[in-house]
Copies of this chain bind each other. A is one copy, B any other.
Amino acid sequence: MESKLGIGLLGLGTVGSGVAEIILNPENRHPLVSDIELIGVAVRDKKRQRKISIPDQIITTDPLQIVDDPRIQIIVEVMGGLEPARSLIIRAIKNGKSIVTANKSVIARYGDEIASLANDNGVYVLIEAAVGGGIPIIEPIKQSLGGNQIKRVTGIINGTTNYILSRMEKEGAAFDKILKTAQELGYAEANPAADIEGLDAADKIAILSGLSFGGNINRADIPTQGINNLQSRDIDYAKRLGYQIKLLAISERIDSKESNKDSLPLAVRVQPTLISQEHPLAGVNGVNNAILIEGDPIGEVMFYGPGAGAGPTASAVVADILNIAGVKKLGGNGTQLDPLLAANSWRDCHLVGSDEIIQSNYIRLICEDSPGVIGKIGKVFGERNVSIESIVQFEANPLGAEIVVITHKVTQGQIKDSLNGIKQLDEIKEVAAHMGCL
C-alpha cells in the first residue's frame, strides 16, 4: 500500500479545526483527500475544549515536535502572527517540508526570503488561504492566467471594512456606530486597526501583485488609506452622484517616466474609492470579497465569494494540500518543482512614487457660500492641467457650503499640487475628503 502524505498542523483554532475536519472526513470529497493523513497538531493549550475530536496522542504543545517530525511532508501553519510562525515555517522548509499557510502578514513581509529558501530546498509554499478566504484566487492566477499580460488587479479584499461600508451605505449611519455593532457581531476585532486602517488589505494586495506581475514589491511602500476617517456624508454624496464607496486595493502596471527598463513599474495603493453602480465590484456587499483581474487577451474576470470564515479558509488550505498531493503522485526525482505551482518571481517590479499614480478623484471641500468660489476652484485645477468631470455644490447654509469635485484621470502629484493651491483660496475652509474614483 502506498503511504499517505503526512500533514502537521500548527494551530487548532477555527481554521485549523476546519482543516482537520476535512482530512478526518474524506467522504464525498475528491479521493485525493483520502491520501492525506493528519500526523500531528500543535496547540497552545491542550486542555481547551474543542468541537472537533482529535486523538490525544497526536496533539502537542511543542510546535518543534511537528516541524521536525520526519513522517510529516506538509506543514499547515494556521496559528497566525509574525512569530513564532515565520521561524517555524523557515525551520520546516529547511527540514524539506512543504508549507501551506494562511498567514498573510508573514508572506507579505517575508515572502521573498521564504520563497527563495523553499526553492533551494525543493519544496512548495502555498498560500491560497492568505487572500480572499475561500475564493480560489491564488491558484487561478498561478495556474490559469499565465498566458496573459496582466494589466490591473482590483480587489475588495477585506471583509470587515466591506461589511462596515455596506451597512453605512444602507443605513446612512456613522462609521463609529457600525464599527461597534460589527465588533459585537464578531465581524470586526476588538482591536480593528489592521482592518479599518487598510493594513490587512495592503498585505493582501502585496501578495496578489507579486503573483500577478511576477515580481516582489516592498510591502512597506504601499500608500494605504483606510476607512477610519470616512464620513457618512461622503457615502451619501457618492450615492447621489451614482457611486458606491468601497475600500479597494489596486495594483496596476503603468508607463513610467523612469528610465529603469529592467524593472516593471507598478502603481499600488489601498484607498476608499468611488465605483459606479454598474461596476462589477458594486454588487459585492457584506463580508464578501471579490477580485477583478484585467489582462490581455482575457479581458476582465472576477472571483467572488466569502472573504473569511473558518469553513471557506479551511477549503482554501485543503486546496493547497491537494495540489501538493497531486504533483507528488508524479514521482520525479524529488528536487524539481512545478513552476506554475511554485510561482517564483520571474522579473523585477517596483512601486512608483505615490505622486505618479494616475486616477480619477473625489474631493470634498468645505468653503464659504460665495458665488465666485466654483470659478476659483476650477481655475486652480485648470492651471495644473487637471480636467474636471463635475463640480457639485451640495449644501449651502449661512455657515458655509460643501463642494464635491470629481476629476478625470490625473497624477496624484497634480492633485496634491492643486489641493495646495485650493487651500490658499480665502473662501476654502477645509479639504474635507479625498478619495479615488473608478
Contacts and interface: CB of A to CB of B under 8 A. Distances in A.
B297 A280 contact: no
Interface residues of A, number: 65
Contacts of A144: 128, 136, 139-140, 316, 319
A328 B38 CA distance: 29
Contacts of A134: 297-299, 301
A297 B18 contact: yes
Interface in A328-367: 329-333, 336-341, 346
A382 interface: no
A317 B148 CA distance: 11
Nearest to A319: B144
A330 B338 contact: yes
B318 A340 contact: no
Contacts of A398: none
Contacts of A146: 29-30, 32-33, 318-319, 322
A119 B330 CA distance: 14
Nearest to A277: B283
A316 B33 CA distance: 27
Contacts of A260: none
A296 interface: yes
Contacts of A214: 30-31
B29 A148 contact: yes
A323 interface: yes
Nearest to A128: B144
Contacts of A135: 301
- Considering the complex of A and B, which 9 residue pairs feature the smallest CB-CB distances, nearest first? A297-B311, A147-B318, A30-B146, A301-B305, A136-B144, A326-B340, A298-B315, A330-B332, A302-B304
